[in-house]
């Protein structure tokens, strides 16, 4: 359970955000802001994996009073930390390149 929550925050959110941005740009529905490269956007997508409030709320509704709630909380905290650190490093690298 913990691993699934971490995987969702660390892989799912960045992948979904990056894919949606790429699709919007390729379909000419949007464009990247001036001075923003794909590396910086990808870093911001990783930062999207920081998800405390709604993740904890949904977990509390789904697993109220069970040991799965504790596992979900550990996964949410771990996934958010990893997403924040990796996203920060990528954004830092992306802003240096531009």
User: 75-86 pLDDT, tens per residue?
Assistant: 999 999 999 999
What sign does the dihedral 42-44-48-52 (CA atoms) show? positive
pLDDT in tens, the chain (98 residues): 788 888 988 999 999 999 999 999 999 999 999 988 899 999 999 999 897 889 899 999 999 888 899 999 999 999 999 999 999 999 988 777 55
Give the closest residue to 53 by CA, choosing from 45, 41, 61, 43.
61
pLDDT for the residue 89: 94
């Amino acid at each position: 359970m913990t691993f699934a929550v971490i995987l969702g925050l660390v892989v799912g959110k960045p992948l979904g955000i990056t894919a949606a941005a790429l699709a919007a740009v390729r379909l000419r529905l949007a464009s990247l802001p001036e001075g923003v490269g794909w590396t910086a956007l990808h870093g911001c997508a990783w930062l999207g994996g920081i998800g405390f409030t709604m993740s904890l709320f949904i977990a509390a509704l789904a697993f109220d009073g069970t040991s799965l709630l504790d596992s979900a909380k550990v996964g949410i905290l771990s996934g958010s930390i990893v997403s924040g650190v990796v996203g920060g490093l990528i954004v830092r690298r992306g802003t240096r390149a531009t």
